[in-house]
Amino acid sequence: MKKIVVLMLIVLVMAVVYFSGAGDFGDLFNNKRSLNILFITIDALRKDHLTCYGYKKDITPNIDRLAREGVIFTQAISQGSSTHYSVPSFLSSIYVRIPQLKNRFYPPTNTNLPEILKEKGYFVGIMGANAVYPYDQTKLDLCENIDDIQAEELTRRVVEFLRKEQDKPFFFWIHYWDVHTPRLSLAEAGGDKILQYDTGLILADEHVGILLRELERLNLDKNTLVILSADHGEGLGEHGSWSHGGIVWDEVLRVPLIFKCPGVIPKQRRFDNQVGLIDIGPTILDILRLDKSEEMEGSSLFPLILNKQFIHCPYIFSEHYQDEFKPGFDRYICSVRTQDWKLIRIRVSGSEELEYMLYNLKKDPKELTNLAEVEKRQFEFLKQRLEDWLKQKRTIVKLDEEIAKDKAKETVERLRRLGYMQ
C-alpha cells in the first residue's frame, strides 16, 4: 500500500513539474493581462532554414534557444505569399479573400489585434520595414514604417524602448527585413543564392538574440510572451522560383511559429498540427483571457499548447493576387490545404478557364506530381471547399475614396523602391 501511495505522489509531482508554465501556477499569472507581448516577424523567413526545424547548418542559435524554451509549430501556414495579404490576415484573424476587394482593406476595429490591445490598456508599438502596418497609425502609441531600416537600427530603437520604465503592459511588434533583402550581394556570395539568403538569416538571428538577452537583463523575460514567425517564406529554386509573391507552393507558405513565456507556455514541445498565422491573434487574446470577436476566423492554439481539447478547422486557405498594378493583367492564385492534401487554383484575367493542381503532401511534400486528373474524388472535395470559402462574405471597412487613392499611390511608390515594380 505504501508503494502505491509513494508511486501516486511521484506521478503527481511529475505532472506538476511537466505542466508548470502551462497554466495558472503562481500569483504572477493569475491575471494574465499583465503580460507583455513581444511579437517578432522576419520577412521571407522559411522554416526549413532554421536549425530547430531541421536545417543541417547550425546558423540560428538564438531562435533555436527560443524554440527550446517554448513551443514550436511545424505546420504553420501563411495566409498570403506576400506581405500585402499575409499581414492583414494575421493582424485581423480574417481571411482577405482578394476577389471581394477593390482596394486594400482595413480590418474592423474589433478584429484588429493592435487596436484591441490598445483599447484594453496596452502600450502598442510597431516598428519595421516593408510597410509592416498599413492601417491607421494614429490609433497606436508608436508606429514606424521605415522601408530601408536595417537590423542594427531597428534593434537599437526597440532596446531603447524596453529600457524605459513602462506604466502599462506593452505589445511590441518588430518586423525584420534582412532575410528578404540580404546585405551580402550575390557576387560577394560567389553566385550562391542559398549562401546569400543564409547570411541575412544569420544577421536576423543575432538581433533576435540581442532582444532576448535584453529582456533577461531587464528582468522582463518572466512576464513577456515572445512570439516569433514570418509573414511568408521564400522560393530558393524550387519550382523555378527565387522569390515569393505570385506562388502558393509550400516553400513560401510554411513558416516558423514559436511561442515562449515562462509560467504560461510549456517548454520543449513540438506540435505537428496544421495551423494558420490567422490563429495568432485569437491565441494571444486567449492567453490574456480576452474574448475574440465573432468575426475572427482563426482559432486559439492555447488549448492545444496546454494539451486540452482543441477544435480547429481542418482547412487552411492561402492566396495571392499577382501583377495587380499592371493594367489589363491580373492572376489570382489560391489554395486549400489539409494535413495531407493541397489544392491550388489559378485564374488569369481574360480567360474563363481555371487551372488546378492537387498534391498528396504526405507522399509528395515537394509538390511535384499533380494528381488533379488522378485523385478525382479528393479533387472534387477540395474544389468544393475552396469554392465555398471564396463565396463567404466578410466585413470590410472601406476607405474614403481620396484616402484610398493616396494609399494606392503610396503603395506603388513603395513597391518601386523595394524592387517589386519597374
- Categorize the per-residue pLDDT at 397 as very low, low, confident or very high, splitting at 50, 70 and 90: very low
Residue 183 lies in a domain: yes
Assess whether 111 and 258 both reside in one domain.
Answer: yes
> Which of the two residues, 398 and 235, has the higher pLDDT score?
235
In this structure, what CATH number is given to the domain that contains residue 362?
A: 3.30.1120.10
In this structure, what CATH number is given to the domain that contains residue 159?
A: 3.40.720.10
Nearest to 271 by CA among 297, 298, 233, 307: 307
Q: What is the DSSP letter of 74?
A: E
Assess whether 390 and 293 both reside in one domain.
Answer: no
- Categorize the per-residue pLDDT at 107 as very low, low, confident or very high, splitting at 50, 70 and 90: low
pLDDT of residue 325: 52
Residue type, 236: L
Residue 198 lies in a domain: yes
pLDDT of residue 110: 67
With cell 547550425, the residue in question is 58
- Model confidence at 73: pLDDT above 80: yes
Residue 69 lies in a domain: yes
Assess whether 268 and 124 both reside in one domain.
Answer: yes
pLDDT of residue 19: 43
Cell numbers for 290: 480576452
User: Mean pLDDT over residues 7-14, rounded?
Assistant: 44
Assess whether 150 and 294 both reside in one domain.
Answer: yes
With cell 489559378, the residue in question is 346
Assess whether 221 and 304 both reside in one domain.
Answer: yes
- Model confidence at 21: pLDDT above 50: no
CB distance 280 to 297 below 8 Å? no
Give the model confidence (pLDDT) of 339-395 as tens digits. 999 999 998 766 778 999 999 999 999 999 999 999 999 999 999 999 999 988 655
DSSP-based three-state secondary structure for 221: helix
Assess whether 282 and 365 both reside in one domain.
Answer: no
Assess whether 237 and 356 both reside in one domain.
Answer: no
User: Mean pLDDT over residues 247-266, rounded?
Assistant: 95
Assess whether 386 and 401 both reside in one domain.
Answer: yes
- Categorize the per-residue pLDDT at 244 as very low, low, confident or very high, splitting at 50, 70 and 90: confident
- Categorize the per-residue pLDDT at 69 as very low, low, confident or very high, splitting at 50, 70 and 90: very high
Nearest to 201 by CA among 62, 386, 56, 98: 62
Q: What is the DSSP string of 70-119?
A: SEEEEEEE-SBSSHHHHHHHHHHTS---GGG-SS--BPPTTT-HHHHHHH
Element (H, E) at 359: strand 354-360
Q: What is the DSSP string of 172-189?
A: EEEEE-TTTS-SS-TTTT
Considering its fold, how many domains does the chain have in total? 2
Cell numbers for 310: 482543441
User: Could you give the residue ranges of the DSSP H alpha helices within 186-292?
Assistant: 193-217, 250-253, 280-287
CB distance 228 to 66 below 8 Å? yes
CA 275/CA 340 separation, integer angstroms:
13
Q: Which of 281, 311, 341 is the last residue of a domain?
A: 311
User: Mean pLDDT over residues 35-59, rounded?
Assistant: 96
CA 145/CA 90 separation, integer angstroms:
18
Cell numbers for 67: 524554440
Q: Which of 33-42, 258-267, 399-408 has the highest mean pLDDT?
A: 258-267
Residue 12 lies in a domain: no
Q: How many CB atoms lie within 10 A of CB 166?
A: 11
User: Mean pLDDT over residues 177-203, rounded?
Assistant: 90
Residue 187 lies in a domain: yes
pLDDT of residue 77: 97
User: Mean pLDDT over residues 213-218, rounded?
Assistant: 97
Q: Which of 291, 311, 331 is the last residue of a domain?
A: 311
For all residues of the chain together, what is the average pLDDT? Answer: 83
- Model confidence at 31: pLDDT above 60: no
pLDDT of residue 147: 76
Nearest to 116 by CA among 145, 95, 91, 84: 91
Percent of the chain with pLDDT over 70: 78
pTM, entire model = 0.85
Residue 282 lies in a domain: yes
pLDDT of residue 257: 98
Give the model confidence (pLDDT) of 79-96 as tens digits. 998 888 889 889 999 998
Nearest to 252 by CA among 103, 46, 113, 54: 46
Q: Which of 269, 289, 311 is the last residue of a domain?
A: 311
Residue 14 lies in a domain: no
Assess whether 140 and 61 both reside in one domain.
Answer: yes
CA 309/CA 84 separation, integer angstroms:
34
Assess whether 404 and 304 both reside in one domain.
Answer: no
- Model confidence at 401: pLDDT above 90: no
With cell 513540438, the residue in question is 270
CA 289/CA 50 separation, integer angstroms:
32
Question: 236 vs 38, 43, 250, 252, CA distance in Å?
Answer: 29, 15, 12, 9
Assess whether 242 and 372 both reside in one domain.
Answer: no
pLDDT of residue 251: 94
Residue 15 lies in a domain: no
Residue 342 belongs to domain spanning: 317-417
pLDDT of residue 218: 96
Assess whether 323 and 307 both reside in one domain.
Answer: no
- Model confidence at 294: pLDDT above 50: yes
Residue 305 neighbours by CB under 8 Å, 6+ apart: 22, 71, 259, 265, 266, 269, 271
Q: Which residues of 145-154 are buried (b: 16+ CB within 10 A; e: fewer)?
A: bbeebbbeeb
